[in-house]
Amino acid sequence: MEKLFLRGSEALALGAIDASVKFYAGYPITPQNDIPEFLSRELPKVGGKFVQAESEVAAINMLLGASACGLRVMTSSSSPGISLMQEGISYLSGSELPAVIVNVMRWGPGLGGIGASQGDYHQATKGGGHGDYFVPVFAPYSAQEMYDLIIRAFDVADKYRTPTMLLVDVMISLMKEKVIRRFEKRSEVKIKSWAFGKVKEGEQKIIKSLYLKGNDLERHNWKLYEKYKVMCEKEVIYESYLCDDAEIVLIGFGMVARIGKSAIDIARERNVKAGLFRPISLVPFPEKELEAISKKCKKFLVVEMNTGQMVHDIQRVLGKDIDISFYGKPSSYAPTPEELFYKIKEQI
């Protein structure tokens, strides 16, 4: 177990290499450029291929091809680039091809800006592309989680044959901190029996998302849904911090949760009984776990760097009888711990 001092983006790229990523295709866009910069340098050294494609559309389609051959594949981009990739993400889902997509979020809609934002929660968790599908989404809140969750994203992608996404805050990507490297060497990836070149001789293999005959498509869509139901049982991750005796629980993901934790520490020092609930998997959403907390705690404060997106999921899970307030920061200026402590105090 190696102890390193890395930027979040470097931790993520290193995690991808430790997870045996073999193929990366992407296109320059701020603020995610240091992920491809790291991989363009390091991936060829371990026998992987890095491609700067002519566009995000080309990049995601290169992923479709490389994934069909059974490689572990990934791309990274920032919000407008992820919008362009939505077509490919829908096709990856429909074709049941594993791939990992990293979105280091910036402002939108449109060109928006390049500052910190959580404006893509809806796009990431509710589809983005056309059709009936779910993409598992993970939200890291430290450099360590950038490393850990990219590895998990590859594992989940392979296990369910689905694209997975890391929804990353730019501050987590640029912040430098301690990272413990779990793997001393690259992980072994199982041979995918369904991939091109791996299928038995004489057998035909078609990878497709088109189903025209009878009720084939209906069966296919129910199959995708069944996989999602299994994910809901097995792939939920979250963190609950000092919620047991809490009178108010702050909910946030990624960077907001990181700041929120400091706000909870300030509150506890002043004998304010506050806790933090942090979904790490945004899809599948930790519904049961949140419900369990609401049995004891009746006050929730949702904080996001947008005008209110995850809060809709919280309202859906907790229902109307629970007191849910929202504090949004749709600007590049993240809330401070003191600011969030003040918001907590306002509510009790």
Partner 1 sequence: MKDYPVYNTYQTPSWCPGCGNFGIWYALKNAFHELGLNNHDITMVFGIGCSGNLSNFLKVYGFHSIHGRTLPVATGIKLANHKLNVLATSGDGDGLGIGLGHFIHTCRRNIDITYIIHDNRVYGLTTGQTSPTSPKGFSSKSTPFGVIELPVNPVALAIISGATFVARGYSGEIDHLASLIVQGMKHKGFSVIDVLQPCVTFNPSYSYAFYNPRVYKLEDTAHNPQDYENAIKLAMEFNDKIPIGIFYKTERETYEQACIELGENPLSEDDIENISIEDIIDDLLA
Cβ neighbours around 213 below 10 Å, total? 7
The residue (of 44 and 319) whose beta carbon lies closer to partner 1 is 44
The residue (of 40 and 325) whose beta carbon lies closer to partner 1 is 40
Residue 23 in contact with partner 1, rule: CB under 8 A: no
Q: Which stretch binds partner 1 (CB under 8 A): 29-37, 157-165, 286-294, 333-341?
A: 29-37
DSSP 274-331: EEEEEESEEES--HHHHHHHHTT--EEEEEESSSSSHHHHHHHHH-TTSEEEEEE--S
Q: Quick one: which of 183, 181, 177 has its CA closest to 3? A: 181
Q: Quick one: which of 122, 93, 88 has its CA closest to 105? A: 122
The residue (of 44 and 131) whose beta carbon lies closer to partner 1 is 44
CB of 34 to partner 1, least distance (A): 9
The residue (of 56 and 313) whose beta carbon lies closer to partner 1 is 56
Residue 86 in contact with partner 1, rule: CB under 8 A: no
Q: Are 148 and 182 in contact (CB under 8 A)?
A: yes
Sign of CA dihedral 326, 281, 136, 38: positive
How many of the chain's residues bind partner 1 (CB under 8 A)? Answer: 18
Site residues (CB under 8 A) for partner 1, limited to 48-67: 50, 52, 54-57
Q: Quick one: which of 275, 291, 280 has its CA closest to 148? A: 280
The residue (of 80 and 328) whose beta carbon lies closer to partner 1 is 80
CB of 58 to partner 1, least distance (A): 8
The 103-122 contact track toward partner 1, x by CB under 8 A, reads --------x-----------
Chosen residue from 23, 27, 121, 228 binding partner 1 by CB under 8 A? 27
Residue 41 in contact with partner 1, rule: CB under 8 A: yes
CA distances from residue 193 to 49, 189, 294 in whole angstroms, order as listed:
22, 12, 45
Contact residues toward partner 1 (CB under 8 A) are 27-30, 33, 36-37, 40-41, 44, 50, 52, 54-57, 80, 111
